[in-house]
Every structure is written in structure tokens, then in C-alpha cells.
Chain A
Amino acid sequence: MTEDEVAEEIASGMTVGIGGWGSRRKPMSLVRAVLRRGADDLHLVSYGGPDVGLLCAAGRVRKVSYGFVSLDSIPLEPHFRIARQTGAVETLELDEGAFYLGLLAASHRLPFYPTRAGLGSDMLACNPGLRTVRSPYDDGEELVAVPAFDIDVSLVHMNRADARGNGQFLGPDLYFDDLFAMAAERTFMSCERIIPTESLLEEGPVHTLRIPRLHVDGVVEAPEGAHFTECPPDYGRDEAFQRAYAATARDLDAWDRFRAEWLELESHDTYRDRLARWRDS
């Protein structure tokens, strides 16, 4: 598939899960395609990074459910910070562990998962959609019931995949990408390189094959597809680019220029050409 074909599958109003973690292995070429194709009113579910920031800054987001939204080397995603502080988006703000349980419940096709974290906190007071549940057993404990995320489409980025949709991560951490793939109705996966199935074990052991094709509805080959987030061992984070991106949050003209230069491009190939020129300059 191409990025644009994936983006066509995402309609306005949908709930979109995005894999990766902060500014790490985010499916950025898919995110830019979604932005380009014009779907709006989206509900994003993400351990958020620039995926959330970009789509919020472009005005495509109704709601964000998140465990955090960070660029790692820049602790707070600046575009999301503005959206959050101006009340431009609805939020379901969970701690990272509760967020995990929302993904887990969805992947298990259960309505919720119970946890003790958050009892007595304002997480419950500020999120009327969150409820508690009482254990039916003798302990009678009251627990927070984290609702399953109802995700229409998940987007994840892997280091390698075969054409049938078996995905492989070669970096230090899968993060929660397997759960995003299992939690959603449909999942689309980009990867640095599509390789023959029989070559999948050349670069990593069988334990790195954590996204089986049964959970995947389409594969896109996208070299540098996670740029400017990191995608080890293929490449690290492009900190210079990330700083340039972050700086556009303080300046509307700079954001318009960034948008014209890097977002409103016809394809990921154009983006890569431009990136090569930017690095040379």
C-alpha cells in the first residue's frame, strides 16, 4: 500500500491508535498522510509525541486519550501544550499504567480492566467517563475500571516487515505496538523495509517478530518513515529537526512555513528528497 491509501481508510470522526512512545518509532509518514488527506474530528489514542502535536496543531483532533505527550528531549510537546492550555481538544488523561490497561482490555475484547492506581485522585473527579467497580468476591474491593479503548484504526511503524504484514522490531523496545495492533478493528503498518518472509530472521531472532500478519490489514514501505522520531537501530532521533519543529509552536508564521515545507507534500518520497536537501544545506 501507499501512505495515501492508508489515509483514505481513515474517515473524519474515527478513533485512531498510534504506536510508538513519545518521540520514538512513530509512524510519521502515515501521520503526515492523514494530515494531508484532510480527515478531521479525530480521537487519537497514543503514548503521545509529535504525532499528537502535529495533528492537534493542524486542527484535526477532537479528543486525545493519552498517558503523556512528550518529545523526550523536550519534555512537553509544545503544540499539544498549546492545544491543552487553550482547551482546543477534549482529553482523557490517564497515567501510563491505566492507559496500558485500556489497550489491554481492548485487545482482550473486554469492557474494562480494574486497577488500584488513581483511587482517591482527581483523575476520577475530572473524567466523568471513568467509573469504579466493586469486586464480586469476599474482598469487596472498589477499583478503578479503566474502559477499553474503542479504536477504529491503529497505525504502527516497524523496522522490517514482509509483504503479508508480519512486522519485526529491531530496537530496544516494542513499546505497546502489539497491543495497538490487537486493540483496533484494523491496523496499518509502515516499516523501514519490506523484505522476503524467509529473510525475517537475518537481522533479529524470532522474538523480534511481534506483530503477526493476522492483526495487520496493510503494509507500507516507508524508509525514514519514523523521521524525525528515533527508529533504532536504523537511525536515531533527528534532534535538529525536532528543535526546528518545536520552535514553530511559538510562532504562527513559522508554523505556516513548516506546514507548507514539510506537511503539504504530495508523498513521502517528496519529503525524503526535501530532507536530503535540508541536511546538505
Chain B
Amino acid sequence: MTAANGWTADEMMTVAAARALPDRAVCFVGIGLPSSAANLARRMHAPDAVLIYESGCIGAKPGTLPSSIGDGVLSDTADAVIGVPEIFAYWLQGGRIDVGFLGAAQIDRFANINTTVIGGYQAPKVRLPGAGGAPEIAANCGEVVITLRHGRRSLVEEIDFITSLGHGDGGDHRERLRLRGRGPGTVITDLGVLQPDPETKELTLTSVHPGVEAADVAAETGWDLRVAPDLDVTPPPSDEELSVLRELQG
């Protein structure tokens, strides 16, 4: 899908994710869309965001997007470089990260994430990359932003495996587990933005991207999607956002 002024649905998704990162936030960044979004944010409205990569780079300021978490451009521009164990122990478990970006193969209506298997656990149809560091991010970051492409196979009634906890069964499930992070606050897809209901924690469509109707989003969602009464339209990528993003992606 390409809009009239030339941005693609994936670019809209990246720009919307960038806007979800507040200035001065300490942000845990993975390679791919999260890295694009976080670096776009740092060049736009969040110059003082602190980007942390799993390889141990704290406050990385890459001029071009890194190809992997071990890319030298991260350590060369970082405020500090520590080891991977310290990232898990002192930064994630220690609760020092405000925002974590996560991708997903599947999510359900409470933003629980599956990145482990499609099919049964013992002999899966498809084995996915697995947990990685995602359960640590999901449990411990102040807030989680999830990005994934919309579709009935990715936003499903029941996910095949809960790899990383979102809002569990909904309501106060996270509080009952005494998790310190608030869990997923925003789900950004190529069609729109979903946010949990403050009480039930069920994901609700709060914004559609330009050119998308709520009915289109509902048709691509595997559960009966709730739509916010004051549904917004996501502002399209500005010329500046688009040119900075494309320069980053080089």
C-alpha cells in the first residue's frame, strides 16, 4: 500500500512507533523496526532519549542504522558499553528501562505475545525464533510498545504460546503477578493503533492510519475488535519524518 504522497504502510508504522517514544525516555531497542523508530525519534522530538541495545551499548547514537546488535557503530557512539549479563541483571530486571519495543508473530486481545511456536509446543508446525530477551522486556520495562503487521493470522483469538506476558487474562492480572512494568501500552500495526482499555485491558482501536477505515481493521483482526468512540486518524508521516527515516535506512 502506497499513499499518494509516497509513504508506505511500513513507513507509517515506523513513524507511529517513533512518536510513541517520549524524549528523555530510556528505551530498549531491538534491530529492525524498533531500531529505525527509536533513531527516528532521537532525530525528531526525542533528542535526549537513551537508546540501549542488548549487546550492552548504553546511549548509542548511531549515524546509520546498525546491521546487528553487535555492529561497531553502536559501541563507538555509546555513553557506556557493558556486558550482556549486566543488561539483563541491572537494566532490565533492575527496572531501569522506561520503554521497550517488541515485535510479535502473534498477539491476542490482551496483547500477550507469541514468538515461540505455531502449532503445538512439543512438535510445532513452525518453530519461531523463540523468546530472546522479550519476556524480560515484557515483565520489566515501564511500558511496552508492540509493532507488527495486521492480519487475521497475527492478531488472533487465541495465541499458540504465551512467550511474553502482555495483560494476561486482562484486568489486574499483571498487578496480581506483582510485575513492575505496566505492560503493553500501545500496539502499532500497518493499519492503525490499538491501546488497552484502562479497566479490562482489552485492546481497543484508538487510531486508524490515513486511508484506513475501522471496518478494514476489524476485518483483519482475529477477534471481535472494539473501536474507541473517539477514533482518531493518525497524522501521516511529515516530509521531515519521511526524509530522516529514509536517510537513516540509507
Set A85, A87, A95: member contacting B134, Cβ < 8 A: A95
Q: Can you list, as one digit per residue, whether each of B116-138 has a CB less than 8 Å from chain A (1) or not (0)?
A: 10000111111101111111101
Assess whether B126 is in contact with A85, with CB atoms less than 8 Å apart: yes
Assess whether A100 is in contact with B140, with CB atoms less than 8 Å apart: no
Of A67, A94, A119, A174, most B-chain CB atoms within 10 Å: A119
Q: B178 to chain A: which residues have CB within 8 Å?
A: 116, 139, 141-142
Q: How far is the CA of A52 from the CA of B65 in the complex (A)?
A: 30
Q: B238 to chain A: which residues have CB within 8 Å?
A: none
Give residues 58-94 of B contacting A (CB, 8 Å).
68, 70, 72, 75, 83-85, 88-89, 92-93
Assess whether B131 is in contact with A94, with CB atoms less than 8 Å apart: yes
Assess whether A123 is in contact with B126, with CB atoms less than 8 Å apart: no
- Give B125 Cβ to nearest chain A Cβ, in Å: 8
Set A24, A142, A174: member contacting B70, Cβ < 8 A: A24
Q: How far is the CA of A90 from the CA of B166 in the complex (A)?
A: 27
Verify if A98 is at the interface (C-beta below 8 Å from B).
yes
Q: Can you list, as one digit per residue, whether each of B129-165 has a CB less than 8 Å from chain A (1) or not (0)?
A: 1111111101110000000000000000000011111
Q: How far is the CA of A9 from the CA of B148 in the complex (A)?
A: 47
Assess whether A96 is in contact with B70, with CB atoms less than 8 Å apart: no
- Give B68 Cβ to nearest chain A Cβ, in Å: 7
Q: A142 to chain B: which residues have CB within 8 Å?
A: 177-178
**Contacts A85-B124, A87-B123, A93-B130; A116 near B180 (Cβ below 8 A):** yes
- Give B121 Cβ to nearest chain A Cβ, in Å: 5
CB nearest neighbor in A for B126 = A85
Set A104, A116, A173: member contacting B55, Cβ < 8 A: A173
Q: How large is the interface on A (under 10, 10 to 19, 20 to 34, 35 or more residues)?
A: 35 or more
- Give A178 Cβ to nearest chain B Cβ, in Å: 9
Residues of B within 8 Å of A, CB-based: how many?
45
Assess whether A68 is in contact with B130, with CB atoms less than 8 Å apart: yes
Verify if B185 is at the interface (C-beta below 8 Å from A).
no
Assess whether B135 is in contact with A95, with CB atoms less than 8 Å apart: yes
CB nearest neighbor in B for A70 = B129
Verify if B173 is at the interface (C-beta below 8 Å from A).
yes
Assess whether B133 is in contact with A87, with CB atoms less than 8 Å apart: no
Assess whether A120 is in contact with B162, with CB atoms less than 8 Å apart: yes
Q: B163 to chain A: which residues have CB within 8 Å?
A: 95, 121-123
Assess whether A176 is in contact with B135, with CB atoms less than 8 Å apart: no
Q: B125 to chain A: which residues have CB within 8 Å?
A: 85
Verify if B34 is at the interface (C-beta below 8 Å from A).
no
CB nearest neighbor in A for B179 = A116
Verify if B192 is at the interface (C-beta below 8 Å from A).
no
Give residues 93-139 of A contacting B (CB, 8 Å).
93-98, 100, 104, 115-123, 126, 139
Verify if B196 is at the interface (C-beta below 8 Å from A).
no
**What are 16 A-B contacts defined by CB distance under 8 Å?**
A66-B130, A68-B130, A69-B130, A76-B127, A76-B129, A95-B131, A96-B133, A97-B133, A116-B177, A117-B139, A117-B140, A122-B161, A122-B162, A173-B56, A175-B84, A176-B85
Listed from nearest, the 6 A-B pairs whose CB atoms lie closest are A95-B131, A97-B88, A97-B136, A120-B165, A87-B123, A95-B135
Contacts A93-B116, A141-B178, A173-B55 known; list 8 others, CB within 8 Å.
A76-B129, A85-B125, A97-B88, A100-B89, A117-B140, A119-B179, A122-B121, A175-B84
B interface list, Cβ under 8 A from A: 54-56, 68, 70, 72, 75, 83-85, 88-89, 92-93, 116, 121-127, 129-136, 138-140, 161-165, 168, 173-174, 177-180
